[in-house]
A and B are shown apart, each in its own frame.
Chain A
Amino acid sequence: MSPRREKLTSPQTRVALARGNRPAQHLLPIPEPVDAEAARRLFRAQRRRAVRTIVLLSVVLFGVSGAFAAFPQISEVRVAQVPLSWLLLTAGLYPPLFGLALWHMRSAERVEERAERDRGTGVGVAGPDRGEGP
C-alpha cells in the first residue's frame, strides 16, 4: 500500500471489524426446488445407487479379508513365485476399486442426465423461448 493512501470502510464495517468477533448471523433461505416430486424421485434413485455401491465396496473389502481369514491356504498358492494373497493385497484390489467408482460415477451421471432431459421436456412449466439461445 502506498504510504499516502488511506484505508477506508463504511461505518458499519468499521464497527463490526473493531468488535473482533462475528455475532451469529441471519440465515438466507435456501431456494426451493422447482419440481419437488421430480427432485424426490431423483434423490431416491441416487440413494439406491449409493447404497448399492457401498454394499459392493463392503463385499470387496470384507469379502477379501474374510476369505484370507477363512482360507489361510490362499497364501500357499503361488503365482510366479509370489503368494496369491500378497498379489491380491499389494496390487489386485486397486483395479476393482477403481472400476467400482467409475461404474458408480457413470450410473449417477446417467440418472442426472435423465432427470435433466425430463425437466427439459416438462409439460407446461416452461415456454418454448426459455432456452439459452443457440
Chain B
Amino acid sequence: MSNRWLSRILPARRPASSDLRASAELMRQVHALGLDLRDGLHGRGVGTAAKRLRRMLGVDGIVLADLDGSVSSHGRKLSADEVQAVLSQVFEYGGCARTRLSDGAELYACPLTVADELSGALLATGDPAEADVEAAASLVSDCLDHAALRRARARIASANLRTLRAQISPHFVHNALAVISALVRTDPDRARHLLSDFADYLRYGFSEKGDYATVADELEAVQTYLELQRARFHDRLDITVRMAPEVLPVAIPFLVVQPIVENAVRHGLERKEGRGHIGVSGFGEGPLCVIEIEDDGVGMHPDLARSLLAGTGPEAQGVGLANVDQRLRAVYGPEYGLVIETGLGEGTKVTVRIPRFMRGVVAQ
C-alpha cells in the first residue's frame, strides 16, 4: 500500500528541482512521523504525530484512535460519542467510512492495521480527499508496525539473555554424585557434608529468582563447587581467594564466576600432573569491579582461546567461557567482555572487569 502511495508522490520522470526539494521535505516529514510513533500509539510522540498528519493532509482535524477510542487529536475536537459512532462503523466493516457530523462537516475514517490485525483508526475532519487519508492511514500503520517490531526486538534481547543464563553442567552433576557415592562408605561425614554442599549449589544454580546475584553469592557457589572438586582431586587442588570486601555487594549476572572456575578446573587442571593451584581475587578499581581467576594448569593455545571468544571454537571446550563473555557483553556493552591471558603450558588468567553499577542490574 505504501508503495502505491510513494509512487504517486515520486513520479518516474526526472523531476524539476523544486519538485526534488518538495519530495526531500516530504521524506523528512515521513521520517519524523516514524520517530513520533516509535513508541506506538501510546507513546510520548503521538500528539506530535497527530499535529504533523494534520499539516501534511491539510485538514481541519485529526484523531488517532485505538480500539477503545481516541488517544490523541489535533485541530477540530470531536465528542467521544461521535468518535465512537464512526469507530464502530470502521471496525465493523474493516474498511474506510465517511460520515457527516451534526454541523454538516465531513468526516473520513480509515482503519489502522498492524501485522494484519485491526488496531486503531485515523479520523480526518474537514474536506479530506479519501485517497489521501487512506494513504496516510497506511503510512501510520507501517510506523506502528515498526514500533511493534522494535518492542519485540527488545523482548527477544532480554529473553535471549535469559536463555544464555549458564546451565549447570550435567558433566559436573555426574562427577559430584560419583564422588559422593564413593565416599559414602569410607568417609560418611565428609560425604554428608559434600551432599549438603551439593544441595546448596543446586539451589543456587536452579534459582529462578532473577538474572543477577551479588559477588558474595557467586563466591559461595564457587566455594561449594571447589569443595566438591577437591574431593575428586583427592585434595591435590590448592585454592587462594583474595577479595576486597568493597566489591562483595556488587550485583553481577548470575553464574559468571563459577563457569570460569569450572573451565579452569576442567580444561586447565584436570589434565595437569601433580598439584594444581587456582586463585580467585576481586577488588575495586574506581567505578569498576575486577575479578580475576587464575590457574597454573596446562593453558590453551592462543588461537583456540581466540576462536572460543569469537564463537567459532570447538563445541566441547570452553562453551562456558564463550557464554559468560557473551552475557557480559549483552548486559554491560561490548567493552566489558572477558579478557583471557593464556599460552600453551602457561596456565590461564581470566579477567572480568565490569562497572560496579549498571542500571537494571539488581541482585535479587
What's the least CB distance linking A17 to chain B, in Å?
A: 5
Tell me whether A5 is interfacial, beta carbon within 8 Å: yes
Complex: A10 Cα to B175 Cα, angstroms: 31
The answer, among A6, A19, A25, for a CB contact under 8 Å with B341, is A6
| Contact bitstring A35-76, B, C-beta under 8 A = 1, else 0 | 000000000000000000000000000000000000000000
Least Cβ–Cβ distance between B217 and chain A, in angstroms: 14
Name B333's closest neighbour in chain A (CB-CB).
Answer: A25
Partner of A16, one of B310, B334, B358: B334
Q: Is the pair A1, B341 in contact by a Cβ cutoff of 8 Å?
A: yes
CA of A4 to CA of B360 in the docked complex: distance in angstroms?
Answer: 39
Q: How many residues of B contact A (CB 8 A)?
A: 32
- Check if B333 sits within 8 Å of A4, measured CB to CB: no
In the complex the two chains form, what is the Cα distance from A118 to B340 in whole Å?
A: 48
Output the nearest chain B residue to A7 by Cβ-Cβ distance. Answer: B341
Q: How many residues of A contact B (CB 8 A)?
A: 25
Q: Complex formed: what's the CA distance from A116 to B233 in Å?
A: 45
Give A1-44 interface residues, CB cut-off 8 Å to B: 1-2, 4-13, 15-17, 19, 22, 25-31
User: Which residues of chain A come closer than 8 Å to B302, judged between CB atoms?
Assistant: 6, 8
The residue among B158, B333, B336 with the most chain A CB atoms within 10 A of its own CB is B333
A8 touching B333, Cβ below 8 Å: no
A13 (CB) vs chain B CBs: closest residue = B337
How far is B161's CA from A29's CA once the two chains are assembled, in angstroms? 13
Beyond A10-B337, A22-B333, whether A5 also contacts B342 by CB under 8 A is yes
Give A16 to B311 CA distance when docked, in angstroms. 17
Q: Which of B347, B358, B362 lies in contact with A2, CB distance below 8 A?
A: B347
- Asked if residues A16 and B335 are in contact (CB atoms below 8 Å), the reply is yes
Q: Which residues of B contact A9 (CB under 8 A)?
A: 309, 337-340
Q: Which of B334, B342, B358, B362 contacts A13 (CB 8 A)?
A: B334
CA distance A127 to B148 in the complex (A): 34
Q: A5-B349, A22-B333 are in contact. List 20 more A-B contacts (CB 8 A).
A: A1-B349, A2-B341, A4-B346, A5-B299, A5-B343, A5-B346, A7-B339, A8-B302, A8-B305, A9-B340, A11-B309, A12-B334, A13-B325, A15-B334, A16-B337, A17-B335, A19-B335, A28-B360, A30-B359, A31-B210
Q: Which 3 A-B pairs have the closest CB atoms?
A: A28-B360, A13-B337, A16-B334
Show 10 A/B contacts (Cβ-Cβ < 8 Å), sorted by A: A1-B349, A5-B299, A6-B341, A6-B343, A7-B340, A8-B340, A28-B158, A29-B158, A31-B210, A133-B203
